[in-house]
Amino acid sequence: MQSVESIADFYARVKPETGADLSPNNTGSGHFNVFTRTTCNRVTPYARRDFYKISLVLGKGRLHYAEKFVELDKPALLFSNTLVPYSWQPLSDQKGWYCLFTDNFVWPKDRQKTLQDSPLYNMEEMPAFFLDKHQQKEMSTLFIKMMEEMGSDYIYKFDLLRNYLHLLIHGAMKMKPLGHDIHHHSNASQRLTHSFLELLERQFPIDSSEEGTLVLKTAIQYADQLSIHVNHLNRALKEVTGKTTTELISSRIVKEANALLRHSDWNISEIAYGLGFDYPAYFNTFFKKQTGLTPKAVRNGVPALV
C-alpha cells in the first residue's frame, strides 16, 4: 500500500544495516542525521516521506516519482519532497552521503516557515542537479564535515550542522535543476493558474482508500477555494494551459490512479473510493474514457497514456 514513511519507520527500516537509532539525534528543535549511501543498494519502498532528505548520489540509479522516473548516471544532488511519493532503484554500487531533517530543524525559531516555499521543492518536480567536478568536491566536503560533526561532542554541533545544511540548500539554489527552468508569471491568468495547480497538487498523493480522502473534486469547489467565480477560473486556465478546469482535474486524477495501479497493492475498488468515486464502476468508466484502457489492464502492466 502507498503510505507515508515517518522518521521512526525510516530508522526501523535501516537499523539492521546502519545500527542507527532515532533518539540521539532529536535536537529538541527538530531532527537531523547524516549517513553514507553505501546502504542504498536495494530498492526503497514507494512512499511519501514526512521528512526531508538531501542525497549526494555517486553511483547510477533510477528515481521513480509519481508516474515518472529519472535516470541519474553521473554525480547528482537530489532533494526529496515530502509531498511527492518516490522510490530509489540502484543500478550500480552506491556511494556518497545523505542527510534527513525536518522543517523545524532548518528554522527552529520560525515555525511558520517551511521548505515547501522554496523553489527547490516545486510541487510537480523532484529537484535533482547534476554536478561538475568543482560542485561535487564542494558538496562532498560539506557532507564529510557533517559526518565528522555528528560524531563530535561539541556542545553546539547541531547549530554548526544547521549551517552546513543551509550551505547545501543555497548551493543547490544557485544551480540549474535537471530538465526544467523556474518560470516567472507575467500576468494575472498565469498567477491564477499557478495558484490552481498548486492547490490541485496539494490534494495528492492519496494516502487512504477511504471515501472522502479527496476533498476537492469539482471545478466549482476549486473556484470557491480560490475565492473566484468558476467562469473566471476556466477562462484563466484555458488561456494559459489550453484546458478547462475539469480537464485539468481529470488529468491529475488519472495520473494519481495510474501511479496507484502500478505502485500500490490497493485493489481497484479501494483506489476508486480513495479518488472520490462513489462506485468502482464509475471509476472504471471514467478511467477508460480518459485513457482508452481499463484500470485492470493498467494493473496488469499495460501502460496508460496520461
Confidence check: pLDDT of 109 > 70? no
**Which of 20, 283, 154 has its CA nearest to residue 146?**
154
Cα gap 291→280, rounded to integer Å: 16
Confidence check: pLDDT of 166 > 80? yes
- Mean pLDDT (whole number) for 186-201: 79
Confidence check: pLDDT of 235 > 50? yes
pLDDT at 185: 45
Q: Any idea what the CATH number is for the domain that residue 257 is in?
A: 1.10.10.60
For residues 71 and 166, state if they share a domain.
Answer: yes
Residues 6+ apart with CB under 8 A from 202: 83, 123
For residues 19 and 163, state if they share a domain.
Answer: yes
Confidence check: pLDDT of 181 > 50? no
- Mean pLDDT (whole number) for 49-53: 89
Q: What is the pLDDT of residues 267-284, one digit of tens each?
A: 999 999 999 998 999 999
In a domain, 66, yes or no: yes
pLDDT at 91: 86
The number of domains in the chain is 2
Question: How does residue 125 score in pLDDT terms, banded at 50, 70 and 90?
Answer: low
pLDDT at 183: 38
Confidence check: pLDDT of 22 > 70? no
- Mean model confidence pLDDT for the chain: 83
- Cα 6 to Cα 48, 102, 113, 207, 269, distances in angstroms: 9, 11, 20, 13, 27
Helices (H), the chain: 7-18, 103-106, 133-150, 157-173, 188-202, 219-225, 230-241, 245-263, 268-274, 280-291, 295-299
Where does a domain end: 173, 201, 228? 173
**Site of grid cell 563530535:** 152
Name the percent of the chain lying above pLDDT 70.
83
Domain that holds residue 213: 188-299
pLDDT at 23: 59
Span of 171-175, 184-188, 199-203 with lowest mean pLDDT: 184-188
